[in-house]
Amino acid sequence: MPTEKKRIQKDIVIIGAGMAGLTAALYAGRMNLSVLVLENALVGGQIANATGIENYPGLPNVAGKDLIATVQQQAESFGAVVDEFDTIEKVSLQEERKIVETESCIYEASSVIIASGMERRKLPLSEERKYAGKGVHYCELCDGHLYQDKVIAVMGGGNAAVDAANFLTKYAKKLYLLHRSKLRADESAQEKLRSNEKVEILLETDVIALKGEKRLESVEVLDKATGEKKELAIDGIFVNIGVTPNTALFQADIKLAEDGRIAAGEDCRTNIPGVFAAGDVRHKEVRQLTTAAADGTTAAILAEKYLAQIRKGK
């Protein structure tokens, strides 16, 4: 007979422990609210993989994991509880008391802040699963050190891809940047990469096959301009081809924008009273570390006001 899950009451449950979620926890905890942060993976989200953040005010060239650790410590110092590697199974957000059920517990809260962020898109090739962790990678900070003096490829053309390529040059003896179109990354990051003699940039190029026996040994690429195919001998490829918002859990309750992110304005309010969206999961034009922190601040303050209104009504 299955054990009945423990029910725990909170003022606010925050889903996601990236910059937005942890900032919300910091503010909510400081307002003497009972706060739980749920994270199904490592604390930090996408930013934890950043090796050097140069545009966070007051903290030049700080490592992402160090910045996140500091914010987590601040949040916990005000009483917030951060629970990582706890998978959320389902949510029910329509009623005044919101339900968030994980593998181990059922949490009830009057307000929920969704800061679930995004995840990297997988390489859309049938062989991807065969080589995952055996030459195909998605985290340069985690796995880059495995490729000391090796030949590496990076796939993608945005800031994440170019930043990853710049970082990986510290290990690689040769690095290919492969992208199907033009680069979209900041010019300063592009210039840094282009000036590195280890790097060869192949634009208008698609990866069409992965090859190797027990692990990845080469990739087949297609030059879209000429139609020519060729094989590149590489030891590993790091994939940065975009992200998908983590909204699958909330689709039954929450209104989504056309891009799949949560429809919420600058006040972070969703279509459900007491439910807020913060950070990259929210539909907005600018998505930066500073705007994630701003969203977390806004969501926590307005959640506290919502809770005060509920108490006043009772």
pLDDT per residue as tens digits for the range 32-86: 999 999 998 889 987 886 767 878 999 988 888 899 999 999 999 999 999 988 8
DSSP, residue by residue, 110-145: EEEEE---EEEPPP-STTHHHHBTTTEES-HHHHGG
Burial class (CB in 10 A: 0-12, 13-18, 19+), 172: buried
Q: Which residues pair with 10 in a beta bridge?
A: 109
Average pLDDT over residues 249-269: 96
Average pLDDT over residues 148-173: 96
**Could you tell me which CATH number the domain at 6-119+243-313 has?**
3.50.50.60
Does the active-site annotation cover 142? yes
Contact 139, 125 (CB under 8 A): no
> Taking the domains of the chain in order of start, what are their residue ranges?
6-119+243-313, 122-239
Of the candidates 139, 186, 206, 223, the residue annotated as catalytic is 139
Q: Is pLDDT larger for residue 263 or for residue 311? A: 263
* Phi, psi (degrees; rounded to nearest 5) at 232: -110, 120
Does the active-site annotation cover 268? no
Does the active-site annotation cover 143? yes
pTM: 0.78
Of the candidates 83, 86, 143, 186, the residue annotated as catalytic is 143
The number of helix segments (H) and strand segments (E) in the chain equals 7, 17
* Residue 174, H or E segment: strand 174-178
Q: What is the tens place of the pLDDT at every residue in 180-190?
A: 999 999 999 99
| Helix (H), strand (E), coil (C) string for 275-311 | EEECHHHECCCCCCHHHHHHHHHHHHHHHHHHHHHHH
Secondary-structure class of domain 122-239 per CATH: alpha beta
